[in-house]
């Protein structure tokens, strides 16, 4: 079985986020069920505004078959974030699910990705995953988002393609956050995505690909995924201000390999069942996020 891990928050932080989240999850759910691929969706809600905590997670598990959700409130975000301009730390959130994952294989992906026919075939072969191999898609096709897609064969229509991105060896790191799959045991051996950089959320997917290489693992890229095009996507930005909500730019291959602490993924946090979701019990002290320093470095470097 595969755990399919996606992340978001309950304020439509990049336009109609909730709409894209549910549209793609329903599409992918139908495709996986039709193909007979054993799976469960794991949604991690991160740092929603206090009045909305848990709302998108509850909607997700109510509308998506074979799903569960973790809810990480603002207190935990404040506890680990070192940039007051950042409202979501998607790779910290993915780590919350990875460290607690109970299926043999885990796929981390962006919340607005549709599986194509060859991606479904790749997922169907999850039992053949190598012990130290991470699987990527070779290309991402941005598609028009002004329609609701119902069936996988609709993705074969070339008129829906806005642009195509291709990933190159050896790291296959272009748009890596769209699709990264490995044995859960390997994710946990690597201790997930980088948590030493707490002032930016960008490039953590790229760094994971480099981490695999640095640790002597393998990267295999095949198949294509489809992304609902939206202008707020990071790859569509033309300027990168210091106060951007994704954090300041940096060389994604600096300070490698990284080493997360033993309590990565907020594994020290207790969970409580609330409205069908697993809430990470908040820390006792609500930390105030410090001002962003001019030349940030990773924690411990």
| CA 157 to mean position of chain CA atoms | 27
SS3 call for 289: coil
Beta bridge partners of residue 228, listed in sequence order: 143
User: Rounded to the nearest 5°, which phi and psi values hold at 232?
Assistant: -80, -5
| Rounded-to-integer distance, Cα 208 and Cα 257, Å | 9
How does pLDDT run along the chain (301 residues), one tens digit per residue?
999 999 999 986 666 789 889 999 999 999 999 999 999 999 999 999 999 999 999 999 999 999 999 999 999 999 999 999 999 999 999 999 999 999 999 999 999 999 999 999 999 999 999 999 999 999 999 999 888 999 999 999 999 999 998 999 999 998 899 999 999 999 999 999 999 999 999 999 999 999 999 999 999 999 999 999 866 555 555 555 667 778 888 999 999 999 999 999 999 999 999 989 999 999 988 899 988 887 788 987 7
Answer for the pair 217, 185: CB distance below 8 angstroms, yes or no. Answer: no
Q: Where are the domains of the chain?
A: 2-280
How far apart are alpha carbons 68 and 251 in whole angstroms?
35
Tokens, residue 255: 């300070």
Torsion of CA 15, 17, 20, 21, to 10 degrees: 170
Does domain 2-280 bear CATH number 3.30.70.2740?
Answer: no
Q: What does the alpha-carbon distance between residue 9 and residue 219 come to, in Å, rounded to a whole number?
A: 30
pTM metric for this prediction:
0.94
CA 280 distance to own-chain centroid = 18
HSE-CB of 76 using CA atoms within 13 angstroms? 28
């Amino acid at each position: 079985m595969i755990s399919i891990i996606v992340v978001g928050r309950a304020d439509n932080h990049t336009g109609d986020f909730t709409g894209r989240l549910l549209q793609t999850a329903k599409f992918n759910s139908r495709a996986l069920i039709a193909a007979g691929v054993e799976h469960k969706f794991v949604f991690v809600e991160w740092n929603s505004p206090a009045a909305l905590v848990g709302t998108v997670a509850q909607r997700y598990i109510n509308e998506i078959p074979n799903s569960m959700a973790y809810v990480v409130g603002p207190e935990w975000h404040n506890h680990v974030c070192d940039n007051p301009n950042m409202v979501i730390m998607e790779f910290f959130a993915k780590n919350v699910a990875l460290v607690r994952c109970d299926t043999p294989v885990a796929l981390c992906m962006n919340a607005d990705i549709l599986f194509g026919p060859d991606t479904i075939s790749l997922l169907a072969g999850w039992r053949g995953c190598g012990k130290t191999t991470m699987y990527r898609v070779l290309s991402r096709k941005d598609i028009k988002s002004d329609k609701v897609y119902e069936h996988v064969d609709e993705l074969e229509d070339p008129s829906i393609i806005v642009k195509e991105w291709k990933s190159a060896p050896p790291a296959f790191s272009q748009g890596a956050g769209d699709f990264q799959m490995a044995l859960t045991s390997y994710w946990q051996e690597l201790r997930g995505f980088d948590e030493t950089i707490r002032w930016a959320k960008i490039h953590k997917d790229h760094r994971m690909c480099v981490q695999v290489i640095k640790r002597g693992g393998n990267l295999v890229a095949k198949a294509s995924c489809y992304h609902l095009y939206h202008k707020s996507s990071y790859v569509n930005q033309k300027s990168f201000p210091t106060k951007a909500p994704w954090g300041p730019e940096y060389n994604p291959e600096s300070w490698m390999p990284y080493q997360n602490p033993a309590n990565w993924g907020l594994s020290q946090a207790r969970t409580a069942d609330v409205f069908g979701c697993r809430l990470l019990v908040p820390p006792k002290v609500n930390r105030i996020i410090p001002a962003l320093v001019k030349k940030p470095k990773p924690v411990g470097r």
